[in-house]
Amino acid sequence: MSSLSHAELWTAIDALAKRFDLTPSAMARLAGLDPTSFNRSKRGDADSRPRWPSTESLAKVLEATGVGFAEFAAMTEAPHPPRSRGVPLMSVDQARAAQAFDAAGFPIGPAWDEADFPGLFDEGVYALEVSGDDLAPVYRDGDRLLVSPVLEPRRGDRVVVKTLRGALLIMTLSRLTARSLQLTAVNGPGERVLERGEAAWIARILWASQ
């Protein structure tokens, strides 16, 4: 491990995730790690000391993916597009129809496109593109919603909720308890209450390109 520089090690981690069509966050979850373990915000930058992944976290990732260390080390020079500014992108309609998320709400699979969001460095974040006018005037056709499955939703946040029955809801979180979610429509009257057991996952909408 000492033969790899800080930049080379993180390059190899990103390349390993790309090989399995995963974000670094999804790969961390696959290995039983905290999903933020490989976030770019934890790697250090020009204004802070470089941060290294632990040997334990690296060992768990290699075990989960079945990749040996020699093969992993070779990925330091593997060409791959940078992921620092690109996030997975899919239309809302397609996301409702496809098997596009894992059990925790992270994007998976090859059906995702990619969109550039300058200045964005948090892994796990993805974008949903609004189709049609069902959410107008708050969200219009073509708007892109930046969604985080990592950040804890708070009362008043606009959220994406996937139910165990397969519905994908875009609503406002008006109340959250240990037993239920109370949701309201983003564009007018309308309310829905879900038992916590009915929701597969809930993700927070961070921003919309309007």
Q: Tens digit of pLDDT for each residue in 110-137?
A: 788 888 776 565 667 899 999 889 999 9
What are the tens digits of pLDDT across the range 63-115?
998 998 888 888 876 554 444 457 889 999 999 877 889 888 988 887 888 88
For residue 47, the model assigns a pLDDT of 55
What are the tens digits of pLDDT across the range 6-26?
888 888 898 888 888 777 878
Among 59, 77, 95, give the residue marking a domain's end: 77
Do 95 and 192 have their domain in common? yes
Among 28, 43, 77, give the residue marking a domain's end: 77
The mean per-residue pLDDT over the stretch 24-41 comes to: 82
Residue 185 and residue 133 in contact, taking contact as beta carbons nearer than 8 Å? no
Buried b (16+ CB within 10 A) or exposed e, 45-72: eeeeeeebbeeebbebbbebbebeeeeb
For residue 93, the model assigns a pLDDT of 92
Look at 68 and 40; give whichever has higher pLDDT.
Answer: 68
Do 125 and 98 have their domain in common? yes
The encoded tokens of residue 135 equal: 């959410």
Question: Rounded distance, CA 111 to CA 63, Å?
Answer: 26
For residue 2, the model assigns a pLDDT of 47
pLDDT higher than 60, residue 1: no
Do 185 and 162 have their domain in common? yes
Question: Rounded distance, CA 14 to CA 84, Å?
Answer: 10
For residue 83, the model assigns a pLDDT of 44
Identify the band that residue 52 occupies on the pLDDT scale cut at 50, 70 and 90: confident
Structural domain span for residue 16: 6-77
Among 77, 102, 125, give the residue marking a domain's end: 77
Percent of the chain with pLDDT over 70: 88
